[in-house]
Amino acid sequence: MNVTPANHTPQVNSATVSATLNAWFLANARDLPWRRDGFGAWGILVSEFMLQQTPVNRVIPRLEEWLARWPTPADLAAVPPGEAVRAWSSLGYPRRALWLHAAAVQITEFHGGVVPSDLDDLLALTGIGDYTARAVAAFAYGHRHPVVDTNTRRVIARAIAGAGEPAPPSRGRDLEAMGLLLPESAHEAALFNAAIMELGAVVCTSRSPQCDLCPIRNACAWRAADYPEYTGIRKTAQKKFEGSDRQVRGLIMAELRGAHRSVTNAEIMTLWPDPAQLRRALASLVTDGLAIPAADGYTLPE
């Protein structure tokens, strides 16, 4: 830690915390495309799809390319889903590209090409869960909803609960905890949703929190308790990428994206030394609708 912890018990005042974080955010927020004036609901929706499990620095160039090519949901809906998968490139988890394409079709057909603002309408779109629906409603339309991501949960766990790490996600518990901190003003609430995420992303990080830079350090329960070790339940760690089926799936997808034709089974079988793992990875791609069997091999969805 970068500072000597306080020896008093902080008195957490939600209004003070939100006001302090909002002021800090306005002065220190990173300049990210989706935070700029005029960045519409479609761009925010696309960014939220891309940011799932993918670092910001990898998303920004792909997002800019995507929106230049498909500036509206109707533009994306007009092309085959395989084009979306191809444009997704190396972002990972390519099912997100299929889901985003399906959502674009639904927005075009059922919402007049305009991304809906209502939570239930957003949740009805393919690939959109509770977080993404709330993020779009709050950040694109200014609605007052608690929005909770991994960074938000970490800040609340430390500053409010005095724990070094958050417990595994719980929709009800997490939304309630964030709701208790949310300002009444819809504008201030949207700002606070972004501010607490930003704090967790750049200051209150998982491994190297910079407590001396934290604007709410004097209200932090974890700091006041001298940073106790977390002893609660942990989320199951994801298996390493190297040698995993995810890596093999990625190799097959790269081949399909680059070929612009059917890729034969014989060609696919040269991509990895373990034939059984290759067949397993290929079968999972077929199940996910990412690899489509053709007469002479496999293609992207059309």
Catalytic annotation, residues:
48
SS3 per residue for 105-136: HHHHHHCCCCCCCCHHHHHCCCCCCHHHHHHH
Please measure the distance between the N-terminal and C-terminal CA atoms of the chain and give it in whole angstroms. 53
Q: Which residues of 48-72 are buried (b: 16+ CB within 10 A; e: fewer)?
A: bbbbbebeeeebbebbeebbeebeb
Contact 30, 202 (CB under 8 A): yes
Instruction: Give me the DSSP letters along 15-81.
Output: HHHHHHHHHHHHHH----GGGSTT--HHHHHHHHHHHTTS-HHHHHHHHHHHHHH--SHHHHHTS-H
Q: Which amino acid, residue 283?
A: A
The residues that bridge with 292 in the sheet, in sequence order, are: 299
- 284 and 249 in contact (C-beta within 8 Å)? yes
Give the pair of three-digit tokens for residue 77: 């809906």
The first and second tokens of residue 227, run together, are 């940073």
Q: Do 214 and 221 meet the contact criterion of CB atoms below 8 Å apart?
A: no
* 3-class secondary structure, 269: coil
Give the length of the chain.
Answer: 302
Q: Please report where in the chains the tokens 């994206």 appear, as a residue.
A: 257
